[in-house]
Amino acid sequence: MKKQNVDALVNLAARRAIILPAFNIYGDIGGFYDYGPLGFRIKNNIVGEWRRTFIESLGNLEVETTLISPAVVFEASGHLKNFADPIITCKKCSKSHRADKLLEELYQKRNDLEKLSGIKKMDFKEMGAAVEAEKIKCDSCGDPLKAEVKSFNLMMGTKIGPTGDLQAYMRPETAQGIFMDFKAIHRTGGMKLPIAIGQIGKVFRNEISPRKILIRMREFTQMELEYFFDPSEKDFQINNRKPDMGKALGTKLNFLSSELQASGKAEYEHISLKECVTKGYIPNEFMAYMLSIEVGFLERLGFKQEDIRFRQIVKEELPHYSLGNIDVEARLDSGFEEIIGNAYRTDFDLKNHEKYSKGDMSIVNGEKKLVPHVVELSFGLDRIFWTLLANSLYMDDKRGWEVLDTNRVVAPYSYVVLPLQKDEKLETQALNISDQLTKKGITNYYSASGSIGKRYARADETGIPYAVTADYQTLEDGTVTVRDRATAEQTRKKISEIA
């Protein structure tokens, strides 16, 4: 089977209503998408695996905080001052573009790794000069872009109250709600550090030029985990469980260090987490341990190792709150896109909220009073969804249709249940099988419309791993054919054997 490109995924997503442009009947407004029935199920399955991995398995906590916060929250967090992107506006048609992304797309097409890595070190003046020198044109009117690059704050503002006196903003991340609630949660939970608080929810960023479907959106979903710990603690336990650090640090991954980025010689090197810590690529062993868990999480979703890399964020690119960032990037056609951001936020957020609220954010951990440090794991759910599907879509020339090669962890249904043809007895039998699977907790979808070949094709291209077909032999001995999507081979089984 031949791996398909993103254009093929866009066509599949539209054809099967996996995702839909929001409020499209009123015209397209970039950066907003709805999930159709199949997409919603796949997305929820990714969420389920995240919860199993980072909440349930580690004994962590999960909260839900508000979407809107008063302006002072984002003054404390630094977002009102620092949360900005470089904008360049076409002089002819006034369309705005994100300058760094225009250059990134150009250098990715050329496979110029040296220039690609150099973008992060450019100031706004250098960025504008590069756009003009490369003769990059406006994608709306085709006029060459020749304008000053400026800073554009991405916060989405709103007003609170009938008179609109209180300035507020839609949250650009779920983290700040967790930080503000941390002390109360720690006090009532009676837990010892390190402890993590997670949250899944919508966030909002007023993107300059949304593009690449779910890669750059204005409203999207994050799955974030804030791990609070004592940085002086060397022999830490997580919820009374001692992690196997030797095994974790022995994990090998595709890593793109700042040194390798500067050289522009390769996309990554395959090295261990221990080596990354020793060389100073990763700030501390605690963060390295969490990265090892991310490796397993991505594998269980179905990402292949060659399609994932961990990139050290260079100094010039670091967020204002961080002493060290490692991004996880997934391959998308010829380049890589960020899907997870890992940051060593130190005590920046808690200390700033302490300063602006004039409250005490310290806790007592054992006999020690401290303001904890934080390692953040921030997952872009929509980007994980999109890049996973992009790396799972293949064309099978023998079958004559596309196959979405998802596993049962993320597949929208484990089985599609089919009557062989239009026949009341077969349809009744197939519906009974569907009901039996549902009672056993096995997700399935009943389909009776179209030829059996077309129904197999629909199941294959929407990622359903197995098809159960009720035929005339089923009426005689209670057996069915089970078709494996991966091989298209069929075996005969008793209904009770299906699991």
Helices (H), 250-360: 258-263, 273-278, 285-301, 348-357
Cα(457)–Cα(403) distance, rounded to whole angstroms? Answer: 8
Q: Are both 253 and 269 inside the same structural domain?
A: yes
Tokens found for residue 65: 């905080």
**Among residues 290, 374, 379, which one has the least CA distance to residue 49?**
379
Q: Which of 127, 153, 179 is the C-terminal boundary of a domain?
A: 153
Question: Which tens digits make up the pLDDT trace of 366-378?
Answer: 889 999 999 999 9
**Within a domain: 31:** no
Q: Are both 271 and 361 inside the same structural domain?
A: yes
The chain-wide mean pLDDT, for the chain, equals 94
Q: Are both 261 and 360 inside the same structural domain?
A: yes
Residues 486, 459: contact at Cβ < 8 Å?
no
Sign of torsion over alpha carbons 68, 204, 179, 72:
negative
Q: What was the pLDDT predicted at 320?
A: 82
Percentage, residues of the chain above pLDDT 90: 84
Give residue 431's pLDDT band: very low, low, confident or very high (50, 70, 90). Answer: very high
Q: How many domains does the chain have?
A: 3
Question: Do you find a cis peptide bond into 419, omega within 30 degrees of 0?
Answer: no
Q: Are both 320 and 371 inside the same structural domain?
A: yes
Q: Are both 256 and 341 inside the same structural domain?
A: yes
Give residue 337's pLDDT band: very low, low, confident or very high (50, 70, 90). Answer: very high
Cα(146)–Cα(88) distance, rounded to whole angstroms? Answer: 8
Q: Are both 105 and 212 inside the same structural domain?
A: no
**Within a domain: 404:** no
Cα(393)–Cα(391) distance, rounded to whole angstroms? Answer: 6
**Among residues 328, 383, 341, 298, which one has the least CA distance to residue 6?**
383
Name the β-bridge partners of 341: 327, 378
Sign of torsion over alpha carbons 138, 140, 143, 149:
negative
**Within a domain: 17:** no
**Within a domain: 364:** yes
Name the β-bridge partners of 70: 168
Q: Are both 146 and 172 inside the same structural domain?
A: no
Burial, 481: exposed, middle or buried (Cβ in 10 Å; 0-12, 13-18, 19+)?
middle
Average pLDDT over residues 289-303: 97
Question: Which tens digits make up the pLDDT trace of 179-234?
Answer: 999 999 998 877 889 999 999 999 999 999 898 999 999 999 999 999 999 999 88
Question: Which tens digits make up the pLDDT trace of 148-174?
Answer: 999 999 999 999 999 888 999 999 999
Cα(257)–Cα(187) distance, rounded to whole angstroms? Answer: 39
Taking each helix axis from N to C end, the angle separating 381-390 and 37-50, rounded to the nearest 10 degrees, works out to 110
**Within a domain: 52:** yes
**Within a domain: 398:** no
Read off the CATH number of the domain in which 192 is found.
3.30.930.10
Helices (H), 358-423: 381-390
Q: Are both 194 and 74 inside the same structural domain?
A: yes
- Secondary structure (3-state) at 169: strand
Q: Are both 168 and 225 inside the same structural domain?
A: yes
Q: Which domain holds residue 419?
A: 413-497
Query: Taking 90 as the threshold, does the pLDDT of residue 108 lie above it?
Result: no
211 vs 47, residue with greater confidence: 47
Cα(189)–Cα(256) distance, rounded to whole angstroms? Answer: 39
Q: Which of 153, 168, 185 is the C-terminal boundary of a domain?
A: 153
